[in-house]
């Protein structure tokens, strides 16, 4: 956003808050922890099974990116119920009272899913990490997966010898734009050379294979899949420790202030409590169990 526009908008927002505080004697509530609580409000909404205020009555519209990558989806087909995120989406829908045939899939680019503006979907599932910055534009459910970021390099490349974060600083690193993977490069590694940002993970993988970057950063399950099935002459150099007290988590993305947010969060929490999320993780992400930690 242009600084001047941001300043004007900020001034208007401040004036509105002041008027509201005078009228009702109540100050705005502070934002909660990004990984612990949903970012929406119940707002008197009903969570009656199968009768939510969805985009299309009687159906729930779920969005993800195209292509849909493994191991999160299988065969590039989100609607087949295979892959961790496809299975989670259907499990959440079922908890909300919508059967398999009531789930409608929609293609939405990764960055657009959490950009400001009204959404065309009920919720998006696409490895979107919960963050305070993103919560200013959209709502998140509670986290459905705890994740770490990992570094991939060609086995014969110089990055493969890295044993620490310091060893990565002088290398050319790349990641998909708008991701926490790219944030880890900029904020944790802080390399001496600018990171390469790619619109898609496919482009980052091609850059690695072609020697345009020394290493790329992706989430750990994706790293295991890439090195085992897509770039077999590459290996996982290591994983980063989580930054801060709470783990990085993926959350379902909803419209800002969506009446569905508390309902979806309740569904995700129930799936975690009854062990469904753990079972799906074991089924679809069992390979992503360990990797050296880079410090």
Residues 177-196 have pLDDT tens digits of: 999 999 999 999 999 999 99
Instruction: Tell me the C-alpha distance between 277 and 272, whole Å.
Output: 5
Hey, which bits of the chain come out as E strands? Answer: 60-64, 103-107, 123-124, 139-147, 149-154, 173-176, 196-198, 215-219, 234-240, 248-254, 293-294
pLDDT in tens, 224-245: 999 989 999 999 999 998 877 7
Name the more confident of 52 and 247: 52
Higher-pLDDT residue of 38, 277: 277
């Amino acid at each position: 956003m242009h600084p001047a526009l941001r300043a004007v908008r900020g001034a208007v927002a401040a004036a509105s808050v002041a008027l509201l505080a005078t009228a009702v004697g109540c100050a705005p509530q502070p934002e909660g922890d990004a990984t612990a609580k949903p970012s929406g409000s119940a707002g008197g909404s009903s969570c009656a099974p199968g009768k939510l205020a969805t985009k299309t009555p009687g159906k729930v519209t779920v969005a993800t990116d195209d292509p849909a990558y493994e191991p999160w989806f299988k065969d590039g087909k989100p609607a087949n119920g295979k892959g961790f995120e496809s299975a989670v989406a259907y499990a959440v829908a079922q908890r909300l009272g919508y059967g398999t045939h009531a789930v409608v899939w929609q293609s939405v680019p990764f960055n657009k899913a959490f950009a400001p503006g009204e959404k065309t979907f009920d919720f998006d599932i696409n490895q979107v990490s919960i963050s305070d910055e993103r919560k200013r534009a959209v709502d998140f459910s509670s986290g459905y997966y705890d994740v770490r970021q990992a570094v991939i390099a060609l086995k014969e490349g110089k990055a493969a010898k890295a044993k620490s974060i310091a060893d990565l600083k002088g290398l050319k690193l790349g990641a998909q734009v708008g991701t926490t993977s790219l944030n880890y490069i900029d904020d944790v590694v802080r390399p001496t050379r600018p990171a390469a940002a790619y619109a898609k993970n496919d482009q980052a993988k091609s850059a690695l294979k072609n020697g345009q970057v020394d290493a790329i950063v992706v989430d750990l399950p994706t790293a295991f899949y890439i090195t085992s099935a897509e770039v077999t002459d590459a290996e996982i150099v290591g994983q980063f420790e989580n930054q801060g007290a709470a783990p990085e988590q993926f959350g379902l993305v909803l419209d800002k202030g969506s009446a569905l947010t508390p309902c979806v969060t309740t569904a995700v929490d129930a799936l975690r409590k009854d062990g469904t999320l753990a079972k799906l993780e074991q089924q679809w992400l069992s390979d992503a169990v360990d990797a050296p930690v880079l410090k």
